[in-house]
Structure 1
Amino acid sequence: MAVNQVGRDIVDVSVLKSTSQSVVSISLMEAKTKNPISHPAAIEPHIRALLPSLTPSEKRVARAILAAYPIAALGTIAELSERAGASAPTILRLTTKLGFEGYSHFQKVVQEEIQQKMQSPLSLLESAPRMPPARRGFLGGFFDDLVEALQKTNSLLQPSVLDEAIDLLADPSRKVYAIGGRSSHVLAKYLVFHLHLLRPQVQEIANSSVPVYHQAADLGRGALVVAFDFRRYERQTIEFCQHAAKRGAKLILMTDPWLSPIAELAQIVLPVEVDVPSPFDSSIVAMAVVEACLAGALARLDDTARARMAKLDELTGRDKVIGAETVGGGTRPKPSKQGAT
């Protein structure tokens, strides 16, 4: 299946391989359901979650799919059978266990997943109406969709996974680096600005006098990288995370439900809903999760964070009233009244 070229800074997801564990919020109970999968984003983690319950021959098929996903899932049953060293009935049994109605249904959902990953604002605008229905007027309808996106994200995120992310962010022994893409860099900046108020050693990775790739050179096992990468995933962000992982840094990834390729490297993956009636993916839900992480970090750091915030307030002079007579520790003389001698 051919995937359109989307530019040198965008990763062609059809040639990406999944070879390492992705930490995702899908339970084993959900993986065992007999109901057909409704969300194409669930396929790869769904297979991983089901692995422990599969027979040896089914595991061979599952691992063959995962080792060359999604390419291996787009061939014929005969091709997958040869790749996995398993029979066609075994493949059909696996697709049934995964909740699909057959191999063709499985392939259709894989194709939909690839399509969703490659969506651009223009293609979203042209593929379907992107305006909220007038249930409560334009603004009311749009807000309804945002609430629905928040609810979907709440079902995607496991509390234990979010707690683990917060624990890492609040660990003062780790230096935190945040990186985003062309639009998601706003999330990285927001995280860095506010986390820096709570604890030291927080830095944004961004284009500056030092190239982004060079900024990965000093990362080590004590580093924590928080990456924001959403569909039409960006090569620079992915490659930075690859360098960071090679140097032993821990990775937290916030991404869309279709999962950035960085999910293969990350210890923690936080999938958030981005789809709203607009040609642009929404960052509102992602920002809400960032703010939840900040609130959690504050709760864990408690007095340490309060002391740091007080120190920063003192340094910046924010405890002083603008326009007061006393400025910078000195006394500013009052202006003389007009006509005074």
Structure 2
Amino acid sequence: MLVRDLIEAHKADLTPAERRLVPYIKDDSLAIELKSITKLAEAADVSTPTVIRFARKLGFDGFPDMQNAIRTELAERIKQPLAKFETKLGAEHERHIVNRFTMHVVENVNRTMNQLDYELFDRVAALLADTDNKIYLRGGKISQASAFHFFNHLQIIRPNVSMLGASPSVWPQTLLDMDDRSVLILFDIRRYEQELERLASLASSQGAKIVLFTDQWGSPIEGIADHCFRAMVEAPSSWDSTIAINLLVEAMIAQIQILSPDKSSKRIREMENMIGVTEIFRKA
């Protein structure tokens, strides 16, 4: 289990002094990775025994054990694509890439489904099925493909769905229109993108609800998001796999249609008619 997940699991057991350590560990892991126990204690304004007790409550033998776990997580989060590829070269000829990739994807899907909160899934589907809500989407450099996939289906089955432009310079106009009937869906996997975190913060300040799709380590946007889905992304490739994320997306699309069968069917028929009409202009 990740350190941030251990914190959530033991949150109720933490003393007020121990809770002061949480921001330095959960939201600023790079800082703690470079700190000694003394410097960490000073930064959080707690005693060194408090740091040790905190680590032990999470299940670690002490501060060094917790620090090593954080270092390992950080190494996975910031691993460059080339470095990922090089770690796999030794086994390149053991099995064909198609089979190895398939095995990883199946494992990713199984692990994603094992940790899925089905009640959360249903709540988000209901939120997105409500046509009184305006939906906005955006992803990162790699995850934008998943965002567009979701957008392409949502706009077919319901109105008021928009994809934010690629340039952050055009986002303020859209942010001005967001309110408590808005939902911003974001896709952010490692290496996490600060522009998306800033977008989430601004949208939230406007009253919008934030739905996040991220990887197993968790984007920093989790601290802002109202609803979050984690999916496994590791693959025998230079790049992370978004197949498990897309599975959640397509299942969500199916559930939205189930919740609003008449409205979605009516919209699809109207769209097909519109396509038929616009064909006249294409041929002209």
Please tell me the TM-score bracket, short chain as reference.
0.7 to 0.9
- Whether 1:90 aligns to 2:70 is no
- The answer as to whether partners of 1:57 and 1:90 remain within 8 angstroms in 2 is yes
What are the Cα deviations for residues 54-108 of structure 1, in whole angstroms up to 9, with x where unaligned? 3444334446644754424642222233344444333223212212232112111
**What TM-score do you get using the length of structure 2 for normalisation?**
0.87
How many angstroms apart in 2 are the aligned matches of 1:148 and 1:67? Answer: 28
Give unmatched runs, 5+ long, in structure 2. none
Is 2:273 the counterpart of 1:290? no
Question: 2: CA distance between counterparts of 1:130 and 1:267?
Answer: 42
Structure-1 residue corresponding to 2:127? 168
Using the TM superposition, give the Cα deviation of residue 223 of structure 1 relative to its aligned residue in structure 2, in angstroms. 0.7
Aligned to 2:111: 152
Query: Does the 8 Å CA contact 2:234/2:240 hold for their aligned counterparts?
Result: yes
Q: Which residue of 2 aligns with 1:107?
A: 67
SS at match of 2:10: helix
Query: Which structure carries more relative contact order (alpha carbon 8 Å, separation 6+)?
Result: 1
The share of aligned pairs that are identical, in percent, is 29
SS at match of 2:101: helix
Look up the match of 2:232: 273
Across the two proteins, how many residue pairs are aligned to each other? Answer: 279
Q: Structure 2 vs 1, CA of residues 293 and 313 (structure 1 numbering), >3 Å: closer, same or farther?
A: same
**Number of the residue aligned with 2:11:** 51
Are 2:200 and 1:259 aligned? no
Between Structure 1 and Structure 2, which shows a larger proportion of helix residues?
Answer: 2
2:11 partner letter: L
- Secondary structure of the residue aligned to 1:192 is helix
Compare CA radii of gyration and give the structure with the larger one.
Answer: 1
> Is the CA contact (8 Å cut-off) linking 1:177 and 1:205 kept in structure 2?
yes
Indicate yes or no: 2:282 matched with 1:314: no
Quote how far apart the aligned CAs of 1:239 are. 2.2
Correspondence list, 1:25-44, <5 A = 37=1, 42-44=2-4
Classify the secondary structure of the residue corresponding to 1:129.
helix
- Specify whether residues 72 and 210 from structure 1 end up closer, same or farther in structure 2 by C-alpha distance, changes over 3 A only: closer
The one of 178, 182, 188 aligned to 2:141: 182
Structure 2: distance between partners of 1:68 and 1:282: 26
Any conservation in 2 of the 1:129–1:277 contact (CA below 8 Å)?
no
What is aligned with 1:211?
170
C-alpha RMSD over aligned residues: 2.6
CA–CA distance in 2 between the matches of 1:133 and 1:262?
39
Aligned to 1:196: 155
Residue number among 99, 118, 124 corresponding to 1:140 in the alignment = 99
